[in-house]
Amino acid sequence: MKKLSLIALAAAVAISSAAAKEIKIGVVLPITGAVAADGQTAWAGIKLANKLEPTLKNGDTITLVLVDNKGDKVETATATTRLVSEDKVSGLIGAMVTGNTQQVLQIADEKKVPMIAPAATADKLLDRAKYGARVTFMDSFQGTSFASWAVSQNMKTAVLVVDQSTSYSIGLARAFKKEFEKQGGKLLKELKISSGDKDFKAIVSQINSLNPDLVYMPFYHPEAALLVRQARQIGVKSQFASGDGVSNDTFIELASDASNGYLYTDAFDSSNPPTAKSKAFVEAYAKENGDSNVPGFTALGADSYYLMIDAMNRCADGADRECVNKEIKNSKNFEGVSGIINIDKKGNAERSIVIKEIAGGKAMYKDTVNPK
């Protein structure tokens, strides 16, 4: 009888092993190029999350297929098409900046593949998408939250610097401006730059003359780092701040001492892990990297993976794209690395933001703003 039980058990294990399959998730990120720091930071989170949770509950193995889009729209479209057509991925994660994420979304919709964005904050990003979702906040929440918080901290006058070449900057600037003035703040001037600019002498000179309480710069880290350095070099004393576009260590390295006191909005602070999953992830990250300071984009990268896996686990077949897409949008009170996330029917995330201040080359927790 014991022998028969052992044979039955062995047969069950063999059947289970035979039934288990490989499920591929395609990852499209800027690993090289101007915003490589953002892509590399998110990839660190996705990769570690996969290491910590490499299989579904039924034993199916999750394989990540990473493609570098170099921060380019054409490269993004080519990479996404290849992942879907050749690699036969069951899900997509990507692609950081809003413009490139729109390319991934378009193909995801065409090919009916569920897709999750770690970081693309434009309000209307998912308005027409059927197969997209995100784990980060929207610009309307990020911009209005920081504007309201700034006024509450007695920053009554501001200069707004906008990157006119990116939808991310334009959308975030619009949200900030509307709320800042609504809360009684005075916008002294709106100045414009373009991605790739390096000489900001004219901009910082005007800021110096206006002497605002706050200089809000909702754009990415390469230009933000250069601008704040040039401003400090001529003696500008104003408070500088940005959105999540500077949420990486490269910004601090590029800005150097000029980064001290800089404020920005983020999705996560590792010194205040909000969930059990946060604490476990921070411990694993510290063990692997020798540093417990988990960047916001790393947490969001991990959450993109975990949310996808959670949805797959709620489907009879984790490779069933329709079911996975449906379950992603049914996600309520999802316990992520970056906090509790609720996904609405459009795929947007309702979640808190964290305000950080850079001090001594480290991003430090300042405050949390929760959705109302």
Take residue 261 and report the two structure tokens written for it.
Answer: 């006191």
The model's pLDDT over 114-164, given as tens digits with 9 standing for 90+, comes to 999 999 999 999 999 999 999 999 999 999 999 999 999 999 999 999 999
Q: Is the pLDDT of residue 109 over 90?
A: yes
- The two tokens of residue 304 are 């993109």
The tally of CA atoms less than 13 A away on the side-chain side of residue 84 is 22
- The C-alpha atoms of residue 139 and residue 121 are separated, in whole angstroms, by 5
User: What proportion of the chain, given as a percentage, has pLDDT over 90?
Assistant: 92
Q: Which residues sit opposite 23 in a β-bridge?
A: 62
Q: What is the b/e burial string over 42-65, where b = at least 16 CB atoms within 10 angstroms of the residue's CB? A: bbbbbbbbbeeeeebeeebebebb
Dist. CA 198–CA 175, nearest whole Å:
26
pLDDT beyond 80 at 10: no
Element (H, E) at 191: strand 186-193
Domains of the chain: residue spans and CATH: 2-137+273-352 (3.40.50.2300), 140-266 (3.40.50.2300)
Instruction: Find the farthest-apart pair of alpha carbons in the chain and give their distance in angstroms, rounded.
Output: 91
Tell me the per-residue pLDDT of 168-221, one tens digit each, with 9 for 90 and over. 999 999 999 999 999 999 999 999 999 999 999 999 999 999 999 999 999 999
The model's pTM is 0.85
Helix (H) or strand (E) segment spanning residue 242? strand 239-242
340-343, strands of its sheet edge to edge: 334-335, 340-343, 349-350
Which candidate, 120, 156, 151, places its Cα nearest to that of 137? Answer: 120
Whether the per-residue pLDDT at 13 is higher than 90: the answer is: no
Q: Write down how long the chain is.
A: 372
Give the Cα separation of 321 and 330 in Å (integer).
14
